[in-house]
């Protein structure tokens, strides 16, 4: 059976939650028993998201097979509880790159290779490949950007061509924004009408319009959209702002969106119904999710006293929660998942490490936190402050969890202050340090020398063998694990003995490459640094084991 394809496009403006809407449509279809796949298309020339600034573009989400992709793939993984791969993502750059590559290989057999049809054809073949590989009943394709802009036109063209080829197997959802101007006080549908018309000029008629707004859309406005955008009233789906993103599927389900999608696909063939068979049972999943959302909402209630303060220490050039929470979305979600499971509401705060460089006395303010995290990062800004914060967490026995850079900096702190290796550093920060406890691997040296920066870090899942009895060993249940990486620098084994002597435990190694992947400190309630990014693997109903232990320890510590 061929997959059916649902394209999700954005109307009016970006940033209205197209990714969450796509994930939620996938989720409700799954809950109805269907197999779902999801693809994100980014209209950038960048071949992948690895070279984009996370503060501007949001987090770089790393897949199991090592693609540096958009944060929406993280949303898909968290909502759909399935792993994403390279075939779940494409950019304009990646599409052009493969067309040019094929042209160079004479794969077009002497034809003149043109933007149309060859680029949309490449897009289609990639979409169909994902549908085939996953054997999905429904493949969702989220087209980045907004209808009407120049950048994503070729992707809309691909979508139109797919519909033409297979009218019964392709559907369109437009996620549109309905403003409520303060002065007017009522919801306006005109921008959405224009967006639908613009989509029409690309040869596409939306089957559903998801009405994103501050408030639920009322009947008169539904009617307006129906008339002007040429769809049925019942196919206008209300999507007001809500407390938690995880409630969106429930909101869609209340309006029977999955049922409506399925019915539309089934009805298509000659007007007669053709059943789409369900491979999996979904009923208990709906219930589980409902209970989960109910719990989050109860915990978020201001009357709930069970909160845990978590501080994330980093360099923060951009202020405003929005930017930061977008660049660390997986870390934040992983903290939430673990805290919720423990019956606590997390209170996450951003701490600018540079303040400790200027005024170390401020470090004592860190005692307010149940636990501290230093997340991934690059470059030297704010690093000394982060190292000071890690030292404080070590001495004051505040639970500490270092993610990638946070692990490397914990190694530096231990080297300097416990092993007395004065000036120990990572060669990323100080190329001439006497004690390069973190250094660049030989293959990475070659990449840098040849200016091969794109997609060349140590990326994706690598196995890690755990030390029995260590904090990590116990958390994971003493088995070999697979965790995702994104870095160029590594623990320098030359210093392993020295560091072990002063109480550092090497709790996880990659045998094949002889690499240290996890370090821990003894005599501390929770001091764990991991060279990988565990946050990518946390799911709402199955929090990551290390985050779970960290949060438990943070709850116990309390903070004040």
Q: How many other C-beta atoms lie within 10 A of the C-beta of residue 358?
A: 9
Report whether 152 contacts 144 (CB < 8 A): yes
**18, 126, 386, 486: which one binds ligand GLN (CB under 6 A):** 486
Q: Name every residue whose Cβ is closer than 8 Å to that of residue 70 and which is 6 or more positions away in sequence.
A: 40, 42, 49, 57, 58, 61, 89, 144
Residue 63 beta carbon to ligand GLN: minimum distance, rounded to whole angstroms: 15
The answer to whether residue 404 is catalytic is yes
* Residue 544 appears among annotated catalytic residues: no
Q: Which of 400, 489 has the CB closer to ligand GLN?
A: 489
Q: How far apart are CA 215 and CA 205, in angstroms?
A: 25
Contact 335, 547 (CB under 8 A): yes
Q: By CB under 6 A, is residue 377 in contact with ligand GLN?
A: yes
489 in contact with ligand GLN (CB under 6 A): yes
Contact between 520 and 530 (Cβ < 8 Å): no
Residue 131 φ then ψ, to 5°: -60, -45
**Smallest distance, ligand GLN to C-beta of residue 380, A:** 10
Query: Rounded CA gap, 387 and 393, in Å?
Result: 10
Considering only residues 382 through 441, tell me which ones interact with ligand GLN, judged by CB under 6 A. Answer: 404-405, 428
From the candidates 404, 413, 487, 549, which is the catalytic residue?
Answer: 404
CB of 472 to ligand GLN, least distance (A): 18
Shortest distance in whole angstroms from residue 215 CB to ligand GLN: 40
Q: State in angstroms the smallest separation of the CB of 457 from ligand GLN.
A: 7
Residue 104 burial by Cβ neighbours in a 10 Å radius (0-12, 13-18, 19+): exposed
540 counts as binding ligand GLN under rule CB under 6 A: no
Looking at 212, 337, 487, 537, which residue binds ligand GLN (CB under 6 A)?
A: 487
The size of the interface with ligand GLN (CB under 6 A), counted in residues, is: 10
Decide: is 488 part of the binding site for ligand GLN (CB under 6 A): yes
Nearest residue to 268 (alpha-carbon basis) of 2, 23, 29, 28: 2
Angle subtended at Cα 557 by Cα 552 and Cα 558, rounded to the nearest 5 degrees? 95
CB of 284 to ligand GLN, least distance (A): 37
Q: Does the protein bind ligand GLN through residue 462 (CB under 6 A)?
A: no
Strand order in the sheet with 436-440: 425-426, 436-440, 489-491
Examine the residue annotation and report whether 233 is marked as an active-site residue of this protein.
no
Task: For residue 376, state whether it binds ligand GLN (rule: CB under 6 A).
Answer: yes
Site for ligand GLN in 129-188 (CB under 6 A): none
Asked if residue 548 binds ligand GLN (CB under 6 A), the reply is no
**Active-site hit among 32, 337, 439, 533:** 533
Alpha carbons within 13 angstroms on the beta-carbon side of residue 30 total 24
Q: Smallest distance, Å, CB 407 to ligand GLN?
A: 8
**Which residue stretch of 121-129, 237-245, 325-333, 370-378 sits at the interface with ligand GLN (rule: CB under 6 A)?**
370-378
Q: How many CA atoms lie within 13 A of 369 on its CB side?
A: 28
Q: Which of 92, 76, 94, 2 is nearest to 37 (CA)?
A: 76
Stretch that binds ligand GLN, among 27-35, 133-141, 330-338, 376-384 (CB under 6 A): 376-384
Q: Is the dihedral of CA 298, 301, 306, 308 positive or negative?
A: positive
Candidates 490, 491, 486, 489; CA nearest to 455 is 486
Smallest distance, ligand GLN to C-beta of residue 404, A = 3
Q: Any contact of residue 378 with ligand GLN (CB under 6 A)?
A: yes
334 touches ligand GLN (CB under 6 A): no
Which of the stretches 72-80, 163-171, 484-492, 506-514 binds ligand GLN when contact is defined by CB under 6 A? 484-492
| Residues 227-246 within binding reach of ligand GLN (CB under 6 A) | none
Give the active site residue among 247, 428, 535, 549: 535
98/427 with CB nearer ligand GLN: 427
- Span from 182-190, 356-364, 412-420, 486-494 in contact with ligand GLN (CB under 6 A): 486-494
**Token couple for 244:** 């938690």
Q: Which residues pair with 529 in a beta bridge?
A: 402, 519
| 341 contributes a contact to ligand GLN by CB under 6 A | no
47 touches 63 (CB < 8 A)? no
In whole angstroms, how large is the CA radius of gyration of the chain? 25
Catalytic sites, residue numbers:
404, 533, 535
Interacting residues toward ligand GLN by CB under 6 A: 376-378, 404-405, 428, 486-489
């Amino acid at each position: 059976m061929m997959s059916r394809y649902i394209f999700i496009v954005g109307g009016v403006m970006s940033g209205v939650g197209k990714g969450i809407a796509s994930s939620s449509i996938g989720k409700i279809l799954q809950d109805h028993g269907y197999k779902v796949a999801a693809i994100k298309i980014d209209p950038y020339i960048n071949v992948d998201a690895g070279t984009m600034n996370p503060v501007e573009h949001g987090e770089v989400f790393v897949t199991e097979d090592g693609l540096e992709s958009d944060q929406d793939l993280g949303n898909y993984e968290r909502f759909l509880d399935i792993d994403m791969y390279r075939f779940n993502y494409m950019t304009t750059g990646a599409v052009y790159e493969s067309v040019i590559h094929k042209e160079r290989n004479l794969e077009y057999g002497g034809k003149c290779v043109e933007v149309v049809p060859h680029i949309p054809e490449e897009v289609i073949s990639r979409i169909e490949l994902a549908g085939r590989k996953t054997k999905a009943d429904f493949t969702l394709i989220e087209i980045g950007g907004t209808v009407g802009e120049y950048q994503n036109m070729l992707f809309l063209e691909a979508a139109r061509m797919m519909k033409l080829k297979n009218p019964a197997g392709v559907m369109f959802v437009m996620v549109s924004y309905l403003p409520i101007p303060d002065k007017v006080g009522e919801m306006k549908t005109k921008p959405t009408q224009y967006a639908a018309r613009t989509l029409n000029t690309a040869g596409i008629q939306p089957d559903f319009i998801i009405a994103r707004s501050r408030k639920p859309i009322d009947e008169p406005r539904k009617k307006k959209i129906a008339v002007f955008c040429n769809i049925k009233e019942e196919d206008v789906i209300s999507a007001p702002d809500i407390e938690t993103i995880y409630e969106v599927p429930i909101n869609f389900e209340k309006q029977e969106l999955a049922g409506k999608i399925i019915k539309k696909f089934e009805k298509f063939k000659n007007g007669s119904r053709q059943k789409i068979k369900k491979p999996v049972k979904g009923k208990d999943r709906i219930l589980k999710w409902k209970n989960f959302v109910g719990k989050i909402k109860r915990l978020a209630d201001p009357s709930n006293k069970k909160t845990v303060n978590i501080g994330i220490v980093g360099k923060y050039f951009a202020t405003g929660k929005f930017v930061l929470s977008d660049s660390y979305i997986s870390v934040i979600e992983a903290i939430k998942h673990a805290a919720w499971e423990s019956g606590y509401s997390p209170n996450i705060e951003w701490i600018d490490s540079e303040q400790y460089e200027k005024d170390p006395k401020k470090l004592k303010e860190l005692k307010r936190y149940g636990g501290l995290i230093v997340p991934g990062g690059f470059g030297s800004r704010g690093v000394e402050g982060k190292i000071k914060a890690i030292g404080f967490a070590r001495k004051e026995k505040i639970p500490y969890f270092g993610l990638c850079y946070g692990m490397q900096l914990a190694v530096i702190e231990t080297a300097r202050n416990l092993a007395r290796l004065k000036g120990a550093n990572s060669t990323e920060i100080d190329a001439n340090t006497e004690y390069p406890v973190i250094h660049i691997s030989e293959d990475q040296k070659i990449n840098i020398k040849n200016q091969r920066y794109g997609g060349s870090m140590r990326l994706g899942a690598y196995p890690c063998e755990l030390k029995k009895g260590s904090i990590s060993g116990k958390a994971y249940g003493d088995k070999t694990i697979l965790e995702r990486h994104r870095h160029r620098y590594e623990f320098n084994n030359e210093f392993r003995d020295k560091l072990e002597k002063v109480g550092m435990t090497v709790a996880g190694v990659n045998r094949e490459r002889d690499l240290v992947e996890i370090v821990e400190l003894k005599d501390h309630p929770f001091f764990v640094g991991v060279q990988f990014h565990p946050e990518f693997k946390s799911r709402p109903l199955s929090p990551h084991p290390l985050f779970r232990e960290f949060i438990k320890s943070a709850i116990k510590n309390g903070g004040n």
